[in-house]
Amino acid sequence: MEGPLAQALGGYKPRRAQIEMAKAVADAIAGQTTLLAEAGTGTGKTYAYLIPALLWGGKVIVSTGTKNLQDQLFLRDIPTIKRTLRAPVSVALLKGRANYVCHYHLERTLQNGRLTSRDDVVYLRDISRFIKTTNSGDKAELARVPETAGIWSLVTSTKDNCLGSDCQYHQDCFVMKARKEAQQADVVVVNHHLFFADVALKDTGIAELLPSANTVIFDEAHQLPETASLFFGDTVSTSQVLELCRDVLAEGLSFARDGADWAKLVAPVERAARDMRLAFPQDMVRLGVEQIDADGPFFEALDALIAAFNDMIAVLEKQAVRAETLEQCRARAILLQEQYENWLEPPKDEKEGDYVLWVEAFSVSLQLHRTPLSIAPIFNKQREGTPRAWIFTSATMAVKNDFTHYVAQMGLWNEPAHTWPSPFNYQEQGYLYVPSGMPDPNSRDYTDAVLEKALPVIGAAGGKTFFLCTTLRAVKHVAERLRTEFEDRGWPFPLFVQGEAGRTELLDRFRAAGNGVLIGSQSFWEGVDVRGDALSLVIIDKLPFSPPDDPVLAARIAAMEKKGMNGFVHHQLPSAIINLKQGAGRLIRDENDRGVLMICDPRLIDKPYGRRIWQSLPGFARTRLEPDVLRFFQQLAADRKAASAAAPASAQAKSPVAAASDTPDAAEE
């Protein structure tokens, strides 16, 4: 208790698992080897990898699963360790270019004035003031403008429309400034999307960082297989086409008004792109290419789009000499045409069967994907070359201490893998409750049955609930029904529903309420930290199996079964277990937390594989009886009342929620 951490951090306690993990990370860094490290909630894995990395020296790249964790590492965790160790290291934060205001595109938007909403006019004024005072240009600093506001796409650059060194603002460019700082820094904090976008697109500056890095650390490493699949594949979207048409029209009218009828030129390209989207009537469709009618409107619109590009490119070829921006539009048009042509006719170095062709329809756009069947060979190729340490860490990488599924996805065969369990006493701190009498999860009335079982428990808990659903449709149904039920019963529990505000805002409001019920889907299953009395109940409606008709999943299962493996046992089940562990991990975040994890899916008990699932979950006391749960909450309420009465006035003035943010590793797994 006399070490630097104990002196610097109030309330710090040595944890054996944290010390053992730190030693394993130090050994991997010293030996320039690979380590897979699963560390249960409360282990303190962030400090366990940061301390040896900062002490060892050299260049360190830390990649996280989310921008939230990226900001937390940069703003809180690394400065704390630097201060504690008195480590003279420089640190840089590097995000994708869409996070930085672009001087050129801001000026062009101010001049063009093509804004369709009053909000955008106000936001644009805020951004133009912001750019004069900010050092970083990072839009996260401008909280007044929502991260999801459409105006950001008009004032930031993309790889396609960045003018590079030809830009008049190149010397002041925030993207270039961030990359320069990252090149010079000892520790660079990035996120997985940025890391793999660079590997695929060479557009983030990481390619220049990797050669000099002696340590690469992936936190929230369980997200890597999905993120890498996204970037090691190929994606082209109709929204890129419409953005190009918008820019061709604007630049043509600005620099070559007499060169063509620009509106007439872009119209066929826009129409073909929109027709491709309209070939699929519903929102959120995912279909393999073999599922699309060969004689239907999609392939007709695809051919029309490829052909329509020819006329646009021909005009741009003649007019490109009149402005750098027109030359850039020409290059973008050629690249997009090639991407659409190559979607069905892939490059010669790709073998058929190595990838999955599929389409994904959103409300106003259509994406065409080519996704690799396995990322393992591609990722291993990226790891070849300069010897360095590769650290993969997460609270959820293994299935009952077995890393086989993760290792197979990432190609990390024969690499050392260790699990350090959580120090929490789950048996004393909570219950796993699987209600009896539940219908089949595929039945029409299943969500209503979940609600009937959940309502008495929510009431007993006094709100303080995360209601985690596996689909957005279930989120909507649960929200509508709970709103009515709370009103009818006179329950004062505020409802916070995914989609009604941003994730950070919903979480802040949930914590502040103290008795809220938050309803969410996948984005609330992980990376969310609520400590103390505000959260006592986590309800999960179904086991999170991926939909079997997902085209990528279906192709991967088919490939596994050709090799004599069982797609469900070897892929779907371990993926669902890792996802479920993330959801379950929302409940107990501190050694003083207590609560109930309620999983409503009867397959946890009824199916032979159910045992494997609950054995992978934290070791809660288990029950199927509602009275046990109601008694637990009665006792919890009594204990909290007694603790509140016994606490000194100064301690009472500080809420558990506020106190949680002062503890080390407050938001880590």
E strand map for 220-291: 234-237, 285-288
For residues 439 and 321, membership in a common domain is answered with no
pLDDT tens digits, residue range 117-161? Answer: 888 899 999 999 999 999 999 998 898 888 878 899 889 998 878
Residue 437 lies in a domain: yes
State how beta strands 495-497 and 465-468 pair. Answer: unpaired
Q: Which range of residues forms the domain containing residue 650?
A: 426-660
For residues 345 and 266, membership in a common domain is answered with yes
Residue 135 lies in a domain: yes
Task: With a cut of 70, say whether residue 1 has pLDDT above it.
Answer: no
Provide the pLDDT for residue 2: 63
Compute CA 357 distance to the chain's CA centroid, rounded to the nearest angstrom: 23
pLDDT tens digits, residue range 449-464? Answer: 999 999 999 999 999 9
Distances (CA, A) of 475 to 29, 451, 496, 497, 602: 44, 12, 11, 8, 20
In the beta sheet, which residues pair with residue 391?
Answer: 35, 217
For residues 329 and 248, membership in a common domain is answered with yes
For residues 411 and 437, membership in a common domain is answered with no
CATH code, 292: 1.20.1440
For residues 54 and 112, membership in a common domain is answered with no
For residues 162 and 196, membership in a common domain is answered with no
The more confidently predicted of residues 604 and 203 is: 604
For residues 167 and 201, membership in a common domain is answered with no
Of 386, 405, 420, which residue sits at a domain end?
420
Residues 6+ apart with CB under 8 A from 414: none
Mean pLDDT of 247-275: 94
467: left (phi over 0), alpha (psi -120 to 50) or beta: beta
Mean pLDDT of 100-125: 87
Please report the sign of the dihedral spanned by the C-alpha atoms of residue 662, residue 663, residue 665, residue 669: negative
Question: Is the distance from CB of 420 to CB of 15 less than 8 angstroms?
Answer: no
For residues 554 and 463, membership in a common domain is answered with yes
In the beta sheet, which residues pair with residue 138?
Answer: 100
Cα 656 from Cα 612, distance rounded (Å): 35
Residue 468 lies in a domain: yes
Residue 378 lies in a domain: no
- CB neighbour class for 434 (10 Å; exposed up to 12, middle 13-18, buried from 19): buried
pLDDT band at residue 382 using 50, 70 and 90 as cut-offs = confident
Would you give the DSSP letter of residue 563?
A: T
For residues 367 and 453, membership in a common domain is answered with no
Provide the pLDDT for residue 351: 61
DSSP result, 262-279: HHHHHHHHHHHHHHHHHT
pTM reported for the whole predicted model: 0.87
Residue 377 lies in a domain: no
pLDDT tens digits, residue range 352-369? Answer: 568 899 999 988 899 999
Amino acid at 98: A
Would you give the DSSP letter of residue 164?
A: G
Residue 178 lies in a domain: no
Task: With a cut of 90, say whether residue 494 has pLDDT above it.
Answer: yes
Question: Mean pLDDT across the chain, nearest whole number?
Answer: 89
For residues 202 and 130, membership in a common domain is answered with no
For residues 560 and 641, membership in a common domain is answered with yes
pLDDT tens digits, residue range 543-592? Answer: 999 887 889 999 999 989 999 999 999 999 999 999 999 999 999 998 89
Residue 608 lies in a domain: yes
Q: How many domains does the chain have?
A: 4
Supply φ then ψ for residue 607, to 5 degrees. -95, 150
Provide the pLDDT for residue 207: 66
Of 172, 197, 220, which residue sits at a domain end?
172
Provide the pLDDT for residue 660: 30
CATH code, 476: 3.40.50.300
For residues 128 and 239, membership in a common domain is answered with no
Distances (CA, A) of 488 to 86, 453, 484: 58, 17, 6
Residue 280 lies in a domain: yes
pLDDT tens digits, residue range 275-324? Answer: 999 999 877 688 999 999 998 899 999 999 999 999 999 999 999 999 98
443: left (phi over 0), alpha (psi -120 to 50) or beta: beta
